[in-house]
Amino acid sequence: MAQQLLMPKATAVWLVDNTALSFDQIAHFCKLHPLEVKAIADGESAQGIKGLDPITNGQLSRDEIEKAEADKNYRMKLADPKVRVPEAKRKGPRYTPVSRRQDRPNAILWLVKNHPELKDGQICRLVGTTKSTIETIRNREHWNQANLVPMDPVTLGMCSQIDLDFEVSKASKDKPVTETENDTTLLPAAATENLSENTSVFGSRSAPQEEGEEDELDADKVFAKLSSLKNNRNADEEQDD
C-alpha cells in the first residue's frame, strides 16, 4: 500500500469539486483538518491550487469513492501501488542533527578506541565527519581533546546498530588473520625424528609406566643369560675337581 498521498491539498480540491464525499471523509483521506476542507469548499483556501485526480495517478479507485459516498462513516484507503519503487540508498555522509554535533568528537573517539580496524572513510559514513577531524582525534591533537569522552554513536542516535555492525564486519574481512599464542600445530618431521621413546608426539614426556608393570621379555636375552650362567657353573665344577 502507498505510504503517503501525493499533493494532499490538490487532491482535496479535486474531491470537493467532483464527489459527494463529506468533509470528514476528505479530511481523513488527505490528512487535513475538516475545517480546512470546508474552507476549500467555500473558496476561502487553496484558490490558486489546481485539483489533482487521485484516480488518474492510481492512489484511489472509483469503487472506493462510490463506497464512501454510499456510507458516510466509511473511510477511504489508498490503493496498492502498481509499481514498487525500491528504497533509495543513502549517499554521502550521514546528516547529524545540530543538537548532536557537539557529541560527534566523542563518537569518533569511541569508534577509534573500540574499533581500530575501521577506516577513516567508514567512520565518516557512520557519524558524518571529515578525515581531518578523525586524524586530529586519533593523534590527540583535537582542540578539545582534554574534555572528550568516548560515547557510543548508536546511543547518541548518529547511526544504527545495523550500520555499525555492517562496517565492522566489512573491516574485519580485510584484517589479516593472526595465529594465537596457544595454537597447537603438528611438529615438522625433522623435529619428530629425534624424539626419544619416552617422548610423545607433541614434545611432552610420556606417562611413566605403572608400578608393577613388567617390561616385555626378550627371548634372545633370556637364553644368552642362561647360557652364561651354565658356563659359569661348569667352570666352578671343574675347579672343585
Using one digit for the tens of pLDDT, what is the confidence trace for 48-61? 888 899 998 888 99
AA identity, residue 154: V
Give the pLDDT means over successive 10-residue stretches in the chain (241 positions): 76 93 93 91 85 89 92 89 62 58 89 92 89 92 90 87 90 64 53 52 49 55 72 64 55
pLDDT computed for residue 43 by the predictor: 86
Question: Grid coordinates representing 219?
Answer: 627371548
| Global confidence as pTM | 0.39
pLDDT computed for residue 4 by the predictor: 79
Is the separation of the CB atoms in 86 and 71 below 8 Å? no
Is the separation of the CB atoms in 113 and 177 below 8 Å? no
Coil, helix or strand for 179? coil
- What contacts 24+ positions apart, CB below 8 Å, involve 201-207? none
The Cα–Cα gap between 67 and 65 comes to: 5
Residues in the chain: 241
pLDDT computed for residue 202 by the predictor: 46
The Cα–Cα gap between 154 and 145 comes to: 21
Question: For 196-218, how does the pLDDT look when each residue is reduced to its tens digit (9 = 90+)?
Answer: 544 444 444 544 554 444 455 56
Is the separation of the CB atoms in 26 and 15 below 8 Å? yes
pLDDT computed for residue 212 by the predictor: 46
The Cα–Cα gap between 40 and 23 comes to: 10
